[in-house]
Amino acid sequence: MSRTVKAKTVVDNIRELSSPAATKVAPSDVAPPKSQFVTVQFQAGDTGLLNMSLPHTRVWYEVIASMRQSNKPVYVEIDPQTNVITELLIPLRVKVGNMVPSKENRNDMEVELIISHAVHHLRHANPLFQKLAKQLKSAKQKGSEVLVTERPDNHEIIDVRISSDSLDSKKTSNKSAEPSENS
């Protein structure tokens, strides 16, 4: 049985972002040269690469540069074999309101995030369901803020982190190849 290596997830502020000025775009049928990559260094020490030969990464570069300037964290997924950033999302800094079983699937949770009118979903099928639900419940009970990352198309919660005004003192990456069932 083959094990799929999971992407490394990082939620952190950006310490440094190399300039795309030196990047050269090669024809799409040619492997990108090293100069086509922009390096993203995170406060906690993690590093990811943006492949500037891909059209969407030019927008990602702009978003990351803006978040760096604002001193706000980003959520990224990094391919552990290539170190290339494969996903970029912006976590919401929120307080947690009500948490109730979903009307569509009683195993899923509907989560109210204060300041949002959308219904946010925590899916039982998520391998980290128990861990994320525990973090959300704890934040609700304490009245503390958390960083919640969700898929923009369906408001599915995929990550929850303790919120802090400055993430530079906290290591916030997940390097595990497989989430454990007890996480």
- From residue 109, alpha-carbon distances to 34, 100, 160 in Å are 44, 6, 14
Q: Which of 29, 59, 89 is where one domain is finished?
A: 89
Please compute, for residue 109, the number of CA atoms within 13 A of its CA located in the half-sphere on the CB side.
20
Which helix (H) or strand (E) element contains residue 131?
A: helix 129-142
150 lies in some domain: yes
Q: Which domain covers residue 49, as residue numbers?
A: 8-89
Q: Is there a contact between 75 and 11 (Cβ–Cβ < 8 Å)?
A: yes
- Tens of pLDDT along the chain (183 residues)? 444 568 999 999 999 999 876 544 444 444 445 458 999 999 999 999 999 999 899 999 999 999 999 999 999 999 999 999 999 999 999 999 999 999 989 999 999 999 888 889 999 999 999 999 999 999 999 999 999 999 999 999 999 998 875 443 344 444 433 333 333
130 lies in some domain: yes
Give pTM, 2 decimals: 0.80
Tokens 């440094």 -> residue: 16
49 lies in some domain: yes
